[in-house]
């Protein structure tokens, strides 16, 4: 019993001591993964693979990744607007870049996501509205990763079909249809289903699963009444962002002479993205990403050295974007400081008597 209580405390507790313990375990896991990987694959071989990097292709990969963040910002505009949070596009884009910066510094993605939540909630104090919008955004992100990854896998296995663009178009239409159904009708259908099969679903061991499902469906249904135009904007922007993200990965792979098709790399990156979201990962899946790429790319007879080189390029791309985000944060902080100082000076000049009396 004491072991189970300690484990429950370690996993669920919000106490500073428990959080420190989880961070230490995360670091131990990451270090263990790196030691295991580089014990098998010599670092010298990885460096040799990286020395052949085509800088033009790498730069194209970075620019496309910035484009994916641009489209993600477009996606978030109707989500925030529906919750009464009015933000211009460049404000949203700057916050999304800043999140990349904090992901590089913070121990987990959860902390960096909290930065985004706080920024959108201020200055109006719309904490709940910001949480609902970001929960829905997170749900959409996972949904797109799963459906597009599975779609890419199914398309790539059909080697006899030479025209992949038709299948890609059908996949996009299917995702749009499925997401509209989930948004509009998932929660009412779930409630109807639960009412009619209550004897089965009321089993105690199913309750934790049902609570998670209800939270997900509640997030989806919170946008059931969004106008069709806004619904299509964030679905199409989300799909476009995912496609541009895959294109970025294709350029990074080509920069070190990994010749993988768009569809193949699409489902590979989907697996990597899902693995990077495991609870014990840090810095966008550092360690887990390397292990996953080595394992999955071996299916295509790609060497471990090239797989690790690709992982390093993905990490380098993230660092460059994080530095851009950090620079935008610094400029924003300096601008706010100047505005505050000017307002203070203006306030003093408008009230000279108060200043003199003090």
pLDDT in tens, the chain (358 residues): 566 666 666 666 666 776 677 667 777 776 777 677 777 777 888 888 888 899 999 999 999 999 999 999 998 988 888 888 888 888 899 989 988 888 776 655 555 667 788 888 877 888 888 888 888 888 888 888 888 888 888 888 765 444 456 777 777 788 878 877 777 777 677 677 667 665 555 555 566 666 666 666 666 677 777 777 777 888 889 899 999 999 999 999 999 999 888 889 999 999 988 887 776 666 666 778 888 888 899 889 998 889 999 999 998 999 999 999 989 888 888 887 887 777 777 766 666 555 444 4
Domain locations in the chain as residue ranges: 55-343
- What is residue 161's predicted lDDT score, i.e. its pLDDT? 46
pLDDT at 62: 95
Query: What is the separation of C-alpha 145 from the centre of its chain, rounded to a whole number of angstroms?
Result: 10
What is d(CA 79, CA 132) in angstroms, rounded to the nearest whole number? Answer: 9
Distance (Å, whole) CA 175 – CA 240: 12
- Scanning the chain, the segments in alpha helix (DSSP H) are 2-12, 16-40, 43-50, 55-82, 89-105, 109-121, 127-157, 164-196, 198-201, 207-221, 228-255, 262-275, 288-297, 304-350, 352-357
Half-sphere exposure of residue 242: CA atoms within 13 angstroms, side-chain side? 29
What is the Cα–Cα distance from 235 to 148, expressed in whole angstroms?
Answer: 13
Tokens found for residue 131: 């949480």
Phi then psi for residue 196, to 5 deg, are -90, -15
Cα separation of 324 and 97, whole Å?
A: 7
**DSSP 3-state assignment of 23?**
helix
- What Rg, from alpha-carbon coordinates, does the chain have? 23
Half-sphere exposure of 260 (CA within 13 A, CB side): 32
Alpha-carbon gap, residue 257 to 303, rounded angstroms = 12
Write b or e for each residue in 123-135: b if 16 or more Cβ atoms lie within 10 A of its Cβ, otherwise e: eeebeebbebbbb
CA distances from 345 to 227, 336, 342, 349, 354 (A): 45, 14, 5, 6, 13
Residue 106: per-residue pLDDT: 64
Residue indicated by tokens 């000279």: 352
163: left (phi over 0), alpha (psi -120 to 50) or beta: beta
């Amino acid at each position: 019993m004491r072991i189970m209580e300690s484990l429950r405390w370690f996993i669920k507790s919000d106490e500073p001591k428990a959080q420190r313990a989880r961070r230490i375990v995360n670091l131990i896991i990451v270090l263990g993964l790196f030691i295991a990987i580089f014990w098998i694959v010599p670092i010298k071989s990885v460096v040799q693979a990286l020395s052949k990097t085509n800088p033009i292709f790498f730069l194209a990969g970075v620019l496309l990744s910035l484009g994916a963040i641009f489209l993600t910002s477009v996606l978030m505009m109707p989500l925030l607007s529906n919750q009464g949070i009015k933000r211009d596009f460049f404000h949203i884009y700057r916050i999304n870049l800043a999140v990349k910066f904090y992901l590089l510094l913070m121990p987990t993605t959860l902390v960096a996501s909290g930065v985004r939540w706080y920024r959108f909630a201020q200055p109006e104090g719309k904490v709940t509205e910001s949480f609902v919008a970001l929960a829905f955004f997170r749900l959409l992100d996972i949904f797109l990763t799963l459906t597009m990854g599975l779609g890419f896998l199914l398309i790539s296995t059909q080697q006899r079909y030479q025209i992949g663009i038709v299948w890609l178009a059908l996949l996009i239409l299917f995702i749009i249809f499925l997401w509209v159904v989930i948004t509009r009708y998932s929660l009412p259908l779930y409630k109807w289903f639960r009412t009619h099969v209550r004897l089965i679903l009321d089993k105690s061991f199913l309750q934790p699963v049902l609570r998670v499902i209800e939270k997900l469906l509640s997030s989806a249904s919170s946008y059931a009444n969004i106008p069709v135009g806004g619904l299509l904007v964030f679905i199409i922007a989300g799909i476009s962002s995912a496609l541009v993200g895959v294109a970025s990965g294709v350029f990074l792979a080509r920069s070190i002479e990994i010749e993988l098709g768009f569809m193949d790399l699409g489902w590979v990156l989907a697996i990597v993205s899902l693995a990077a979201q495991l609870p014990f990962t840090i810095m966008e899946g550092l360690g887990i990403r390397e292990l996953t790429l080595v394992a999955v790319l071996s299916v295509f007879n790609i060497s471990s050295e090239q797989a690790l080189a690709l992982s390093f390029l993905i990490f380098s791309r993230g660092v460059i974007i994080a530095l851009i985000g950090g620079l935008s944060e610094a400029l924003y902080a300096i601008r706010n400081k100047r505005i505050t100082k000017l307002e203070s000076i203006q306030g003093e000049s408008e009230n000279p008597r108060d200043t003199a009396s003090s």
